[in-house]
């Protein structure tokens, strides 16, 4: 029986209005785990992004969700592997099904406001901006981590 470590970016200094639980979990291969994200921003923050960063790799977007649509944007991710729930602006959840050792990573969410005049071009630019900001936060957060358990293959 193997395990996968799943870390969640729960809070970064000065950014306590978005939180995730659980903060760290170890999952048995083949099981499913649910990650929950909440925020204390106002109800106009209806969009939620779920990211994953595997050890030694760059951050990738798993899924974009919004309470304004029941269709979620998974891009290249598998919706059966990563089902999401986003029914209210203040919270959402991501499930990782059939956990494998390859799922060991830092998972985190971010939220944003919906703007009335979003075009495809501005959405792509906005995503790039959010990705750069979150990458900087993760790098700052990771530089403070010590004694992180490593998976033995």
Residue 59 contacts residue 132 (beta carbons within 8 Å): no
The yes/no answer on whether domain 3-143 falls in CATH 2.60.40.10 is yes
Mean pLDDT of the chain: 75
Q: pLDDT tier at 130 (50, 70, 90 boundaries)?
A: low
- Look at 9-13, 85-89, 90-94, 111-115 and tell me which has the smallest mean pLDDT: 9-13
Of the candidates 86, 100, 89, the residue with the CA atom closest to the CA atom of residue 35: 86
Of the candidates 29, 46, 12, 21, the residue with the CA atom closest to the CA atom of residue 139: 12
Q: Is the pLDDT of residue 7 over 70?
A: no
The whole-model pTM stands at 0.69
Q: Is the pLDDT of residue 79 over 80?
A: yes
Q: What is the dihedral of CA 91, 84, 109, 133, to 10 degrees?
A: -120
Break the chain into its structural domains and give their ranges.
Answer: 3-143
Q: Is the pLDDT of residue 147 over 50?
A: no
> What pLDDT is stored for residue 43 in this prediction?
87
Q: Is the pLDDT of residue 19 over 90?
A: no
DSSP string, 75-92: TTS-TTTS-EEEEETTEE
Q: Which is higher by pLDDT, 110 or 119?
A: 110
Q: pLDDT tier at 6 (50, 70, 90 boundaries)?
A: low
CA 52 to chain centre: 6
């Amino acid at each position: 029986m193997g395990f996968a470590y799943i870390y969640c970016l729960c809070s970064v200094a000065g950014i306590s209005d978005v939180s995730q639980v659980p903060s760290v979990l170890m999952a048995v291969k083949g099981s499913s785990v649910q990650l929950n994200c909440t925020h204390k921003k106002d109800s106009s923050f209806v969009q939620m992004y779920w990211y994953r960063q595997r050890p030694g790799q760059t951050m990738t977007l798993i899924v974009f969700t919004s309470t304004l649509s029941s269709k979620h944007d998974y891009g290249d991710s598998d919706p059966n592997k990563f089902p999401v729930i986003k029914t209210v602006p203040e919270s959402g959840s991501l499930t990782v099904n059939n956990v494998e050792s390859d799922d060991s990573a830092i998972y985190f969410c971010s939220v944003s406001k919906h703007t009335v005049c979003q075009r495809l071009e501005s959405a792509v630019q906005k995503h790039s901006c959010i990705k750069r900001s979150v990458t900087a936060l993760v790098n700052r957060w990771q530089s403070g981590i010590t004694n992180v358990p490593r998976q033995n293959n």
